[in-house]
Amino acid sequence: MIKILRDRTFLFFFLGNIISLVGFGFNLIAVSWLVLEETNSEFALGKIMAVATMPGLLLALIAGIIIDKVNRKWLLVNLDIFRLFVISVFIYLLTYKGFNLTILYPVAMLMGLGNSLFWPTAQAFVQELVDDKDYFSANALLSASYQVGSLLGASMGGFVVHLYGPLVALYFNALAYLVSGILIAMAPFTSQQSEKHPEKIIYAVSRGFMFLKEKTGILFLGLTTILSDIAIWGALSVLTITISKEVFLKGSWGYGLMDGMYGVGALLSTIAVAKIVNKIGRKDSLLLCYSVAGLSCFISPLMSTIYLAGIAYFFMGLHNNAARIIIRTLFMEVIPNNIMGRVQTIFGIYTRIMMLSSALLAGWITEVYDPITGMSFASVHYAAALFGTLIIIKIKQFSEEVFTRSS
């Protein structure tokens, strides 16, 4: 891992990605708290989260082609500038016009557009930066950047909102995107993309579908295990702050604590995952990870204090992120670089449909019933990922496609 960080391009990208995610963490807590405080409706928050996923769904097919065709470094920089502009306009409106849920919908949609392009571009950019022998280490570092950024954004954002209010948190959000863009722009990099003659959109997209048709095991792996990420970005994006506010009566700082503990666990997973995989193999590692993450999710709102709930979130983060690193490495090993963006985008379409549904259902279930029932719904995501992994292991064709090279 240290060797990869000695590469100045990867280092600047790594730091920029962390800062960008810190900004996202500030944005998430500020917007969530604004909606809950002003509307007192979990379903309203679910709708905002769902709206934020829609641009990625609507533009997903084109996004994959863009990621595979353009200079990924400058795409990341421009996306930071775009998100900085959107959040600056929102700060202005919030300062001089006051909170308006109607205005928040287009803001959430535009921010969702920037986020939905930034994250898959970052993933594809890493594959372009490192040799295939370094994929596992690079994925662990990329995941570490996500977790450090999310940890700092959630923990600091929660306390900033608690002490100074959501508007100040949004100022930090804007600053983070500015710094991220500068850092990535400073990275010395010449694009390795070699396709000079642009494909027609239909053919370009079909290449991704044709690849997945031939690699049914990878398709099934993506469709099932991605559900664990959907639990985090869908259901839990609504439920975590609701549990802090309504079950433990701790408000925004409690949200920062729980989300921060998830981040600590996820960060430690970047160190622990290699040891786990070396000891029990990737198959058993995935089964272990989804089992523990699902159980931790289920019991978190049943704890007697928010600190014990934070420990449950720690174990959820540790095991969910370890599974994510394994899955991303498997994807990199079998998906060629020149179609990675297309395949990631196909999975992204599915992910955003499920995230949209998950956030809406979690908000509705929590508002109609209670947060504990909502968390039970979130736990089902992990059960489905566990079941899908078991099927892949048991079906010989799937298992050979997914695990033969790495086991």
Is 35 in contact with 163 (CB distance < 8 Å)? no
21-25, 66-70, 376-380: which has the minimum mean pLDDT?
A: 66-70
DSSP 300: G
Q: How far apart (Å, rounded) are the C-alpha atoms in residues 329 and 331?
A: 5
pLDDT at 155: 79
CA-CA-CA-CA torsion sign (97, 246, 164, 80): negative
Is 197 in contact with 322 (CB distance < 8 Å)? no
pLDDT of residue 193 exceeding 80: no
- For the stretch 303-351, pLDDT in tens is 999 999 999 999 999 999 899 888 888 887 777 777 776 777 678 777 7
Is 226 in contact with 345 (CB distance < 8 Å)? no
pLDDT at 198: 53
**The token pair that represents 192 in the structure block:** 């390795």
Give the number of other Cβ atoms within 10 Å of residue 190's Cβ: 7
Q: Which residue has the tokens 């690193």?
A: 325
- For the stretch 135-179, pLDDT in tens is 777 777 777 777 778 778 877 888 899 889 999 999 999 999 999
CA distances for 114 relative to 26, 75, 357, 386, angstroms? 16, 10, 20, 31
Q: How far apart (Å, rounded) are the C-alpha atoms in residues 28 and 154?
A: 8
Tell me the helices (H) and strands (E) count for the chain, helix number first: 16, 0
pLDDT at 174: 95
From the candidate CATH numbers 1.20.1250.20, 3.60.10.10, 3.40.50.1820, 2.40.30.10, the one assigned to the domain spanning 2-186+200-403: 1.20.1250.20
Domain ranges of the chain: 2-186+200-403
pLDDT of residue 247 exceeding 90: yes
Q: How far is CA 200 from the centre of its chain?
A: 30
**The token pair that represents 158 in the structure block:** 């929660």
Q: pLDDT grade, residue 181 (50/70/90)?
A: very high
pLDDT of residue 90 exceeding 90: yes
pTM for the whole structure: 0.75
Burial of 163 (0-12, 13-18, 19+ CB in 10 A): exposed
Burial of 102 (0-12, 13-18, 19+ CB in 10 A): exposed
- For the stretch 210-227, pLDDT in tens is 888 887 788 888 888 777
DSSP 301: G
- Per the prediction, the chain carries an average pLDDT of 84
pLDDT at 230: 77
| CA-derived radius of gyration, the chain | 20
Q: pLDDT grade, residue 194 (50/70/90)?
A: very low
Q: How far apart (Å, rounded) are the C-alpha atoms in residues 36 and 170?
A: 16
